[in-house]
Amino acid sequence: MSERLENLKKARDRMIDDRDAHAKVLAAPFDRDKAERARFKFIEIQALIDALDRAIMGEDVISPAKGT
């Protein structure tokens, strides 16, 4: 696995951990201020995870072609 792909996967794993922390706040008893902040952060982090997924898929497609 290339270093770039490895870094993308590590970043994705870290963002999933961050997203899970915000999901816990959303699942906890309702606190309007905390829930609102957690909701915005959750959406922001999920968009980043989606972007990382696309980058990882792009690397998977590009990597085999590089060797030929």
Describe the crossing of helices 32-66 and 3-27 by its angle, rounded to 10 degrees.
160
Residues spanned by the domain of 11: 3-63
18 inside domain: yes
Q: Average pLDDT in the 54-66 region?
A: 79
- In terms of Cα–Cα distance, which of 14, 19, 12 is closest to 54? 12
68 inside domain: no
Number of domains present in the structure of the chain:
1
State in Å, rounded, how far the first CA of the chain is from the last one: 16
29 inside domain: yes
Task: Write the pLDDT tens digit of every residue in 13-44.
Answer: 999 999 999 999 999 999 999 999 999 999 99
Does the pTM surpass 0.75? The reply is yes
